[in-house]
Structure 1
Amino acid sequence: MDSIVPCFDLNLYTEPNSSSTDIPKKITPKMEPIDEHTPFLTPTDHKIPSVPPPSELDVSSEFNRISELFRTTFAQRLQKNGEVAMLPDVDPNLGAIVPYNNPEAQVANAVILPRVGRKHDQRSSELVRVTDLRPEDYRCFRGRIRRTRLLFDSLRAFLVAQIEKGRNSLTPQRRLRVDLKVAQLMKKQGLWLYREKRIVGGIPGVSIGDVFFFRMELCVVGLHGQAQAGIDYVPASQSSNGEPVATSIVVSGGYEDDEDAGDVIIYTGHGGQDKHSRQVVHQKLECGNLALERSMHYGIEVRVVRGLKYEGTTHGKVYVYDGLYRVTDTWFDVGKSGFGVYKFKLVRLENQGRMGSVVLKFAESLRTLQLDALPKGYVSLDLSSKKENVPVFLFNEIDEDHEPLYYEYLTSTRFPLHVYDHGAKGIGCDCVGGCSDICSCANKNGGEFAYDLNGILVRGKSLIFECGPHCQCPPTCRNRVSQKGLRHRLEVFRSRETGWGARSLDLIQAGSFICEFTGIVLTHEQAQIFTMNGDSLVYPSRFPDRWAEWGDLSLIFSDYVRPVYPSIPPLDFAMDVSRMRNVACYMSHSSCPNVMVQLVLFDHKNISFPHLMLFAMENIPPMRELSLDYGMADEWTGKLSICN
């Protein structure tokens, strides 16, 4: 087993229970919502200064620091017990424990960081395990995962838009799987994560409940390295002793003998099926099947990803990461088709967060429940009083606070009358039968539409022009996305730890419109008077340019140029939300948000007073809190008390 670097204990890293109350309360504005699966987080940990963004982080030095931390703590403890020895010729950057008369242990404990920008034609066969992450380490990993997924999603939206325009040299065939092309381009640039080491256990930065729309995205982030096979493993050909080891599986109902009870899975091995997914021959104990059996023998946990049917997606399916399981039993059985199959019993490890597949099914069940059958805690079934296309729920099972009911719900921002004084002449297009590439509104966007045919934002811009009430195009025009209001069921909820927050009851795809951030617009002079009276105001100029991250393809195309058209002046106005507001006002602040602000014009042409439209920066699972980057928190202290 010399090719597999061993470790002493495979149970050093576990996700904390999601019900932990060690989460700091939000201040003004609401502080960053803590991921419920963040390891080893305590109230004092949250006060640690945040690390620089991944692009500014010295990856090499960070890698060495964590490795050295491992070597000087965990390794010394094992040395003291005489169980292992640290050999002097070991690469100090590895931070792994080399065996000393311990043939039963299989996997090294080491903390690694993804190396961005390097090409990897073949995955490493070396198994490592991530341990002892500090909160800031976890946030760094989470940031890298999010940035990689953001690139995947925005690159896919860009290529889809190019296909729709019919002039994409990269994908000449319209039926080409765009997600495959995206993965190929990212792999060519060395942007797939965790290629240097094969990780056993949780992938740093991937949280339980994360949802993926495409199987290839699992490969890109290192969660499951097989594009089609359900078992990911180190093959026997890459192991010096010829024994494969499994690291993850995908449970998608592809085998008729599978049994999925959530915490316990009876998983059917691979092989023996025809092109119609019918079992036609006996399975063999080889490849992935043997790898699962060896993982059971050595006590190595495996990651479980579930493929679920979900309406409204491109191919009617999504993939959800549900955490770590251990193979506890295996046997050979006669399947329903009369052929022999290998079965594996997997049991979910304790003290992990709630399974994402369970949350998805719960959120779907709310669609069909009668009003009197809704779970306890729903105070209002529609805060908007039917002003929105879909209801906005109010949920509070903590106390009797019903504060959101006291505000008038505002579906669209109210601007001063002088904003519309520029006149309507020339503001709309003349596309009676529907807009095309020569549409005047498209020309305002630089000669292209801002959205694809499914309403997904292609790339962020300083300002987007949509068709509006002065245009001749029909309401079904593809350039009328954000003005149509809500399409996803949102919920204002109260938490014992974090106060009021906002979340979705639906799965929101990256690049999708969520809602408008509404309020009563005040001029600079009016804002000064309101501030003197102590009223709470929102200052749009303080929202960072997160829109620039969506569609930034500079890592893929060397000639990529950040959109600079149109050039708009600084936003010199404030928004009063003290009496009239919408669900957006309850979104938390985060330095790594899942929602971004995109400025949009459609009902007037005064570029100094745009609408603040909110779009998803990543795939947002149901029941996950929505967050915005409000800018520097200290600038808002005392000025944005709307969230508490």
Structure 2
Amino acid sequence: MDPPDPPITFLDLNQAPHPLISPKLEPGERQEPSNAGNGPGFPLPSPNPHIDPFLLADLLPRLRRITPAPDGDKLVADDLRRAESYLASYVDGLRRRLAFPFGAGAAGSSTAIVPAPDAAAGSSTAIVPAPDAAAGSATAIVPVPDAAAGSSTAIVPAVADLASPKKKKPRSAEMVRVSSVAAADQIYFRDIVRRARITFESLRHLLRRAEERTEAAPWRTPPLPLPPLGRRARADLAAAGMMNHRNLWLNRDRRIIGSIPGIEIGDVFFYRVELCVVGLHGQMQAGIDYVPASQTGTGEPIATSIIVSGGYEDDDDRGDVLIYTGHGGREKRDARQSVDQELKAGNLALKHSVDYGIEIRVIRGSKSDCSPSGKVYVYDGLYKVVDCWNDAGKSGFGVYKYKLVRIEGQQMMGSYMLKLAVELKTNPLGVRPVGYLSLDISNGKETLPVFIFNDIDDDKETLLFEYLAHPFYPSCVFNRRGWVDGGRGCQCASNCSFDCSCARRNGGEFAYDGNGLLLKGKPLIYECGTLCQCPMSCRNRVSQKGVRNQLEVFRSRETGWGVRSLDFIRAGAFVCEFSGVVLTKEQLEIFKIGGDGLIHPSRFPGRWMQWGDISDVFPDYTPPSFPSLPELSFSIDVSRMRNAACYLSHSCSPNVFVQFVLYDHYNESYPHLMIFAMENIPPLTELSIDYGVGDESVGS
């Protein structure tokens, strides 16, 4: 494995696990619930108005009367003290009528913190549905059984006050397992993770962009107080450090065992530090993440996740079964062992995973040309460590080996899907000989072929429409001339510069970076177009070039017809355009056109505002409002002619969004509907968009 680049020196990334520095409360003491410095991961549950705080307060004396047997474990007494403290805090919160929503959009969903039924047996607290919670709409977070016998679940408020920098919050040692997540809460947690990833990616882009602007125009004052990167610094580490300074790293208030809400199997990450930001793996360099012995109730280290990246010569990765080599015993930049490994730290933690049967999150890392870092990390789900032994490695030194078996019933491994996508692009008929209705429904109209695949039923509806790569506009749209500069575009002979006239039309900055990725969503983006002198290679010409990823329209059991890509789609990348026959409001009224075959641009929510939003780090940040966009009254008829975008499925938590763009005409009332990726989208993952119409089915 290649060594990591030297980290930046001006930021402390808080990379290693930290002890829990908050004092342990003794019986009778109370601690005010605080929502400062815990990140945006888990808000404080709403107090249930149907629970009498004085009735709960009556439980406190009963807890005090419970004492462990003379020969009982000291951990039981410790748990009882914690249960009393947490209950006291909750009662106090009820009395003060503190209320924070648990899940966005989960009407009636709430939670209550009560002593677990088996509190005296070593589990002190649990998050359980409140009596008035909507059936199936709450999340159960329970203590890890047996993992740290006697360790309790910490209920910590986690609403960050972003108005001022915070002291970095140490990682908690409290371990919980999320047993079930309702549909509404799945969307909520997914949006939290997406929000953190958007902030990370936006900061990384901004840091790099600021460095470019400084080099091109050193006299300009940067719009935000960004730290200088330096020649050998890395923007990913700097972005993560800035988020850490604001306590925006997720899942720092709990150590989650097993699946993490909001993170799905197959999720792709391009930077190791991003795994730390979302809480999937907390170590910047070590392959084993674990809770140290000093922080567990049993005094034994407990492993939570591992990264398999081929760094050890004795690893044997067979997919569902993995022989994983322990940590240590080799020099940096060398996969060969040089000394015997020791059964301590992460190695000992994995051994305890065998003893306690604790599941482990497995992330696979590999080199990739599609990644800006040269590497890609894929979350492949949960494994059980079923065996551990010491053996002589290939280099003759003692190594600890662990056999991990993937837990059944999970989604297909993300790393397998990556390999399958490569094979499909190379030889689709050889990999899936049955199911292809067309190897290019666009008939060469798109820059890349668009597959049609259906191995479920005999539906061939997609073959009945004429493929239209670009929308067909009525002539009245092109009658408006003279937008600025006397109807002229930019006069740049090569790639446009920061002081170009097209940059000024976009509010003084370009919307894309040098790789064609969207830097910041805007109400309307002016790309260099038909009146501009710059070449097609200009960085301000992105969406007009057509699709850059090989798309496949496929039949899905869940959503009918859907769209997916055989390529990685990077966050902020252009995907495709909504195409059809553009109809004015007058045409719709005259011909009485309506029905499911219409796409209404005015209904799409402004999710472009989320892309590039860094208000979590810079409270003074405001989303772009220039140029302004008039009311959109036109519609796109896709009943006869359409393209692949018309098969996008609807989702309240989508992975793509609409960005309005102009380039071939200058009528702001009729922009192009360009689709961009809201997150890193792995191959063969269905693309979804928010049509702004609730749960109605659109576009299929």
TM-score bracket relative to the smaller structure:
0.7 to 0.9
Candidates 419, 431, 445, aligned match of 2:492: 431
Partner of 1:115: 158
Partner of 1:505: 566
* Paired AA for residue 380 in structure 1: S
Instruction: Please tell me whether the aligned partners of residues 95 and 111 of structure 1 are also in contact (alpha carbons under 8 angstroms).
Output: no
Query: Does residue 163 of structure 1 match 2:211?
Result: yes
Closer, same or farther: CA 592–301 of 1 in aligned 2, 3 Å: same
Query: Does residue 396 of structure 1 match 2:396?
Result: no
Q: Distance in 2 between matches of 1:489 and 1:62?
A: 46
Candidates 36, 44, 69, aligned match of 1:60: 44
Partner of 1:447: 508
Superposition CA RMSD, Å: 3.0
Partner of 1:550: 611
Partner of 2:405: 347
Closer, same or farther: CA 404–445 of 1 in aligned 2, 3 Å: same
Partner of 2:647: 586
Instruction: Please tell me whether the aligned partners of residues 153 and 174 of structure 2 are also in contact (alpha carbons under 8 angstroms).
Output: no
Deviations 1:387-414 (A, max 9, x none): 1111111010111111111111111112
Query: Does residue 482 of structure 1 match 2:524?
Result: no
SS in 1 for 2:469: coil
Closer, same or farther: CA 312–335 of 1 in aligned 2, 3 Å: same
Partner of 1:386: 444
Closer, same or farther: CA 230–63 of 1 in aligned 2, 3 Å: farther
Partner of 1:270: 327
* Paired AA for residue 121 in structure 1: K
Candidates 223, 226, 236, aligned match of 2:283: 226
Q: Distance in 2 between matches of 1:115 and 1:151?
A: 18
Q: Distance in 2 between matches of 1:319 and 1:310?
A: 10
Per the TM alignment, residue 115 of structure 1 is displaced from its structure 2 partner at its CA by 1.8
Instruction: Please tell me whether the aligned partners of residues 410 and 581 of structure 1 are also in contact (alpha carbons under 8 angstroms).
Output: yes
Deviations 1:563-586 (A, max 9, x none): 110112111111111111111101
Deviations 1:163-192 (A, max 9, x none): 222266423325421111111111111111
The structure with more radius of gyration: 2
Closer, same or farther: CA 176–612 of 1 in aligned 2, 3 Å: same
Closer, same or farther: CA 219–423 of 1 in aligned 2, 3 Å: same
Deviations 1:248-294 (A, max 9, x none): 00011111110001111100111122122232221111111111111
SS in 2 for 1:541: helix
Closer, same or farther: CA 172–631 of 1 in aligned 2, 3 Å: same
* Paired AA for residue 541 in structure 1: S
Per the TM alignment, residue 316 of structure 1 is displaced from its structure 2 partner at its CA by 2.1
Q: Distance in 1 between matches of 2:476 and 2:317?
A: 62
Candidates 173, 182, 188, aligned match of 2:230: 173
Closer, same or farther: CA 442–381 of 1 in aligned 2, 3 Å: same
* Paired AA for residue 43 in structure 2: V
Per the TM alignment, residue 308 of structure 1 is displaced from its structure 2 partner at its CA by 2.3
Considering Cα pairs closer than 8 Å and 6+ residues apart, tell me whether 1 or 2 has the greater RCO: 1
Q: Distance in 1 between matches of 2:47 and 2:400?
A: 40
Instruction: Please tell me whether the aligned partners of residues 157 and 456 of structure 1 are also in contact (alpha carbons under 8 angstroms).
Output: no
- Once the two structures are superposed, the pairs formed by residues 142-221 of structure 1 within 5 Å of their partners are 142-166=190-214, 169-221=226-278
Instruction: Please tell me whether the aligned partners of residues 232 and 249 of structure 1 are also in contact (alpha carbons under 8 angstroms).
Output: yes
Candidates 175, 185, 189, aligned match of 1:127: 175
* Paired AA for residue 188 in structure 2: C
Instruction: Please tell me whether the aligned partners of residues 574 and 676 of structure 2 are also in contact (alpha carbons under 8 angstroms).
Output: yes
Closer, same or farther: CA 343–586 of 1 in aligned 2, 3 Å: same
Per the TM alignment, residue 155 of structure 1 is displaced from its structure 2 partner at its CA by 2.3
Instruction: Please tell me whether the aligned partners of residues 363 and 377 of structure 2 are also in contact (alpha carbons under 8 angstroms).
Output: yes
Q: Distance in 2 between matches of 1:464 and 1:406?
A: 34
Per the TM alignment, residue 541 of structure 1 is displaced from its structure 2 partner at its CA by 0.7
Instruction: Please tell me whether the aligned partners of residues 465 and 641 of structure 2 are also in contact (alpha carbons under 8 angstroms).
Output: yes
Instruction: Please tell me whether the aligned partners of residues 116 and 190 of structure 1 are also in contact (alpha carbons under 8 angstroms).
Output: no
Query: Does residue 320 of structure 1 match 2:378?
Result: yes
* TM-score normalized by the length of structure 1: 0.83
* Paired AA for residue 195 in structure 1: R
* TM-score normalized by the length of structure 2: 0.77
Closer, same or farther: CA 447–533 of 1 in aligned 2, 3 Å: closer
Q: Distance in 1 between matches of 2:448 and 2:314?
A: 40
Per the TM alignment, residue 109 of structure 1 is displaced from its structure 2 partner at its CA by 7.9
SS in 2 for 1:207: coil
Per the TM alignment, residue 137 of structure 1 is displaced from its structure 2 partner at its CA by 2.5
Percent sequence identity over matched residues? 56
Which stretch of structure 1 is more off in the superposition, 321-330 or 164-173? Answer: 164-173
Q: Distance in 1 between matches of 2:354 and 2:305?
A: 13
Per the TM alignment, residue 123 of structure 1 is displaced from its structure 2 partner at its CA by 0.4
- Once the two structures are superposed, the pairs formed by residues 32-51 of structure 1 within 5 Å of their partners are none
* Paired AA for residue 403 in structure 2: K
* Paired AA for residue 191 in structure 1: L
Closer, same or farther: CA 332–129 of 1 in aligned 2, 3 Å: same
Deviations 1:306-341 (A, max 9, x none): 112222211221111111111111111111122221
Aligned length: 575
Q: Distance in 1 between matches of 2:180 and 2:475?
A: 58
Instruction: Please tell me whether the aligned partners of residues 322 and 356 of structure 1 are also in contact (alpha carbons under 8 angstroms).
Output: yes
Partner of 2:121: 100
Query: Does residue 361 of structure 1 match 2:422?
Result: no
Q: Which consecutive unaligned segments of at least 5 residues does structure 2 have?
A: 1-18, 21-38, 57-65, 67-71, 88-112, 124-144
Closer, same or farther: CA 398–559 of 1 in aligned 2, 3 Å: same
Deviations 1:511-541 (A, max 9, x none): 0000111111111110123445757221111
Instruction: Please tell me whether the aligned partners of residues 245 and 292 of structure 1 are also in contact (alpha carbons under 8 angstroms).
Output: yes
Instruction: Please tell me whether the aligned partners of residues 427 and 604 of structure 1 are also in contact (alpha carbons under 8 angstroms).
Output: no
Closer, same or farther: CA 114–138 of 1 in aligned 2, 3 Å: farther
Partner of 2:188: 140
Q: Distance in 2 between matches of 1:94 and 1:180?
A: 40
Closer, same or farther: CA 352–224 of 1 in aligned 2, 3 Å: same
Instruction: Please tell me whether the aligned partners of residues 148 and 298 of structure 2 are also in contact (alpha carbons under 8 angstroms).
Output: no
Q: Distance in 2 between matches of 1:183 and 1:57?
A: 16
* Paired AA for residue 264 in structure 1: V
Query: Does residue 410 of structure 1 match 2:394?
Result: no
Partner of 2:110: none
Partner of 2:317: 260
Partner of 1:616: 677
SS in 2 for 1:144: helix
Per the TM alignment, residue 149 of structure 1 is displaced from its structure 2 partner at its CA by 1.7
Partner of 1:496: 557
Query: Does residue 248 of structure 1 match 2:305?
Result: yes
Q: Which consecutive unaligned segments of at least 5 residues does structure 1 have?
A: 5-54, 72-78
Q: Distance in 2 between matches of 1:355 and 1:421?
A: 53
Partner of 1:600: 661
Partner of 2:636: 575
* Paired AA for residue 509 in structure 1: R
Deviations 1:423-474 (A, max 9, x none): 4753411101321111111111111111111111010000111111221111
Instruction: Please tell me whether the aligned partners of residues 418 and 682 of structure 2 are also in contact (alpha carbons under 8 angstroms).
Output: yes
Closer, same or farther: CA 295–404 of 1 in aligned 2, 3 Å: same
Query: Does residue 295 of structure 1 match 2:337?
Result: no
Which stretch of structure 1 is more off in the superposition, 275-284 or 103-112? Answer: 103-112
Closer, same or farther: CA 104–595 of 1 in aligned 2, 3 Å: closer
Instruction: Please tell me whether the aligned partners of residues 156 and 253 of structure 2 are also in contact (alpha carbons under 8 angstroms).
Output: no
Instruction: Please tell me whether the aligned partners of residues 519 and 576 of structure 1 are also in contact (alpha carbons under 8 angstroms).
Output: yes
